[in-house]
Amino acid sequence: GVVIMVSVAAIGLFLLLNISLKQFVQHLSQFAKSAAKAMVKAMTRLNSALGKMVKSAGTAAEDKPAADPVNIHDYQVPVVDEGVASSAQAPQPVLTESIPEFQVPVDDLADPVIDLENEEPEIYQLPPLSLLQKTIRLKDPQGKRELVSQADILEDTLASFGIEAKVINVHRGPTITRFEIQPASGVKVSRIVNLADDLAMNLAATGMRIEAPIPGKSAIGLEVANKSKATVYLREVLETSEFLDNPSKLAVALGKDIAGAPVIADLMDIPHLLIAGATGSGKSVCLNAIIISLLYKAKPSELKFLFIDPKVVELNVYNGLPHLLCPVVTDPRIAAQGLKNIVKEMEQRYHLFAEAGARDIQRYNEFAEQRGEKPLPNVIVIIDELADLMMTSATEVEDAIFRIAQKSRAAGIHLIVATQRPSVDVITGVIKANLTTRIAFAVSSQVDSKTILDMGGAEKLLGRGDMLFSPFGSAKPQRLQSAYISDEEVEKVVAHILGQAMPVLRTDFLQPHEEDEEEGLLEMDELLPEAARMIVESGQASISMLQRRLRIGYTRAGRLIDDMERLSIVGGHEGSKARKILVTLAQLEEILETQDRVNP
C-alpha cells in the first residue's frame, strides 16, 4: 500500500512540475548533495562551540582563583598548642636566695630618687618567649571559596541597585574581613555607603563598618565580622621580626591588623597614649600586653614604671618588680602626689640636660656613657582608671597630666592613660589635646567614640580586643585586633623577673617635698656642707660636677642644688644660664652653722 501511495505521489509531482523522470532524479541528487554539505557545516560549527565550552569549563574548574580578578589575602587562623603552652616553665633564677618582701620604709623618707646604684644583678636575664602561650596556624580550605562567593554577592547586590563596582581585594584578618570595592567612574561614594544595611543583610553579616574611602587607595572598604574569630596571642606578635629587630627599648606589641600583619608602636614616636573603651572591651588586656612587651625589651636600669590603679586589682600583680619607682598606687589622693613628683623629676632632668648641653635623654645618655656615668632610665606612668582620679583630685590630676604630656617627651617620661568612661568630664579638652595618640575599644554610643577619636566608628566595634588605633598625625584610625595575654602568662613573666633576687628599691617616691613652714629651714642632707663648699669654691653650681666628685646620682645632686637655692647660697635657675653664686665662703660657714644648731 505504501509503494502504491509513493508511486501515485511521484506521478502527480511529474505532472505538476511538467518534468521527466530523468530530470526529477537529477534535482533529487542535487538536493541531497546540498543537504549533506549543510549538515557537515552545521556539525563542524557545533563541535567547535562545544569544544570551546568544555575547555573553558575545565580551565575554570582547575584554576578558578587564577582566573578570578579578586585578590584574596587570607589570614591563617591561629590555634593554641596546649601542650607547648602548659609545658612552658619559668627558668631557674640566677640566685637562689628568697625573694625579699617589697616594703615601704617608714623611718627613712627622703626626696624622690631614681637611684641606679645596685639596681640589678650583673647578669640580668630578659624573660624568654617560652613563658608565653604558643600558637600554630592551620589553613581553612573552605575559606578562599567562601570569600570569592561573598565578593560575588557584594557585586550582585550593588548591581541590583544600579551601581557598577568591582571587588578588587579581600583581606581576611583575625576578627574581620575587609572587601575593597572600586566603584566605576561617575559612581558617588555616598550611594554605596547608604546601602550598608542591604549589603549586610545579603551577606548575613553580624556587623559591618564602611571606610570610605580607604586612605591611600581609590577604593571603599567594607569590614565584615568573621563567623569564627581568631585570638591573636601576644607571643605571636613578639616572635615577629618587626618586634625582635626593633632597636627601641620602648617598642610595644599592640596586635595585628585586618591583614594579619603585626602592629608595633614605639613610645618614642607616640610619647603619650590615651586608651578608652567600655567594660569587657579588652582595655585591661591591652594594658597588660603593653607592659609585658616593655618588660621583654628593657632592663630595670633602662626603664621605670609608676603604676596608678584606683581599681586596686588590675595592676597589683606587678608589685615587687624592680622596674617600679614605688609600689602600685591605689589611693587617688596619693596618686596626685605621685604625678606631682613626676613633674618635679621632669624639671630636674631638664636642668641636667641644660648643664650637659643635651637636647633630650638620648643625647644626655650618650654624654653620660662617655664620662663613665650611668644613663638615665625612661619613665612610663600608667593610669588604669582616670575617672576615679578625676572624681577626687580633678584639678591637680589634670594640671599634672597637662604638664607631663606637654613637656616630658624629651625627658624620657611617657604617659599612658586608660578609662572605661570616655565622657567629656573625664577626658577633658586639656587632656585630650595633649594625649594625641589614642586607642578606642568598643563603646556604647557614637558620642563616646567622638570623645575619644573625634569621629564615629568605635560604637561599631565587636568587643573582645577589636580596636581602632589612631597614632598622632594619621588621617584615619587603623583597625586592629589587640594582642591577648592571660593572667597566668603575666604571673609567669613576673615570677621570672622576681626569681632573679632583685634588691628592694627605695619606695619614698610618693612622699611630699615641702619646706618646714614653722622653722623656714631645711633638714640638711649629710652631703650638703661638702657640696656647698665645693660649689662656692669652684664658682659654678653644676649638678654634673657634684655627681662626679661626690659619686652620687643626678637626682640627689639636683636636690642638693635646690636646697642651696632655698638657703640663698645659689641663685635660681635661668634657662641655659648657670646659676649665680650668692655667698662667699665666710657667709657660707655662717649659714651652715645655723643649720647645725637647728638640726643637731
Average pLDDT over residues 449-453: 89
Cα 221 from Cα 223, distance rounded (Å): 6
Evaluate whether the domain defined by 92-127+269-332+376-498 bears CATH number 3.30.70.20.
no
Residue 600 is predicted with a pLDDT of 57
Residue 416 is predicted with a pLDDT of 94
* pTM for the model: 0.68
Residue 316 has pLDDT above 60, yes or no: yes
- Alpha-helical (H) ranges within 88-218 are 143-160, 189-193, 196-203
Distances (CA, A) of 195 to 170, 399, 458: 19, 46, 20
Grid cell, residue 210, equals: 564602611
Amino acid at site 88: A
Residue 90 is predicted with a pLDDT of 38
Range scoring the smallest mean pLDDT among 77-86, 118-127, 158-167, 374-383: 77-86
Grid cell, residue 498, equals: 622576681
Percent of the chain with pLDDT over 90: 20
Q: Determine how many CB atoms are found less than 10 A away from the CB of residue 456.
A: 15
Range scoring the smallest mean pLDDT among 37-41, 94-98, 331-335, 479-483: 94-98
68-116, pLDDT tens digit by residue?
Answer: 456 766 654 555 454 444 433 433 333 323 333 333 333 333 344 454 4
Higher-confidence position of 116 and 173: 173
Average pLDDT over residues 197-225: 85
58-78, pLDDT tens digit by residue?
Answer: 444 444 444 445 676 665 455
Residue 117 has pLDDT above 90, yes or no: no
Grid cell, residue 52, equals: 570551546
Residue 371 is predicted with a pLDDT of 84
Evaluate whether the domain defined by 528-598 bears CATH number 1.10.10.10.
yes
Sign for the pseudo-dihedral over CA of 100, 105, 107, 113: positive
Residue 514 has pLDDT above 60, yes or no: no
Residue 524 phi, psi (nearest 5): -75, 140
143-162, pLDDT tens digit by residue?
Answer: 778 888 888 988 898 889 88
Which CATH number applies to 68-76+138-225: 3.30.70.580, 3.30.110.40, 3.40.250.10, 3.30.980.40? Answer: 3.30.980.40
- Contact between residue 443 and residue 456 where contact means Cβ atoms under 8 Å apart: no
527-537, pLDDT tens digit by residue?
Answer: 898 999 999 99
Most confidently predicted of 189-198, 482-491, 515-524: 482-491
- Contact between residue 281 and residue 463 where contact means Cβ atoms under 8 Å apart: yes
Orientation angle between helical segments 21-62 and 2-17, nearest 10 degrees: 110
* E strand segments, 435-581: 437-440, 466-470, 478-482
Percent of the chain with pLDDT over 70: 73
Residue 100 is predicted with a pLDDT of 32
Average pLDDT, the chain: 78
- Contact between residue 389 and residue 423 where contact means Cβ atoms under 8 Å apart: no
Cα 288 from Cα 273, distance rounded (Å): 14
Sign for the pseudo-dihedral over CA of 307, 310, 312, 314: negative
Distances (CA, A) of 157 to 163, 208, 222, 323, 331: 9, 15, 13, 56, 57
Provide the residue ranges of all domains of the chain, joining segments of one domain with +.
2-62, 68-76+138-225, 92-127+269-332+376-498, 528-598
Residue 227 is predicted with a pLDDT of 80
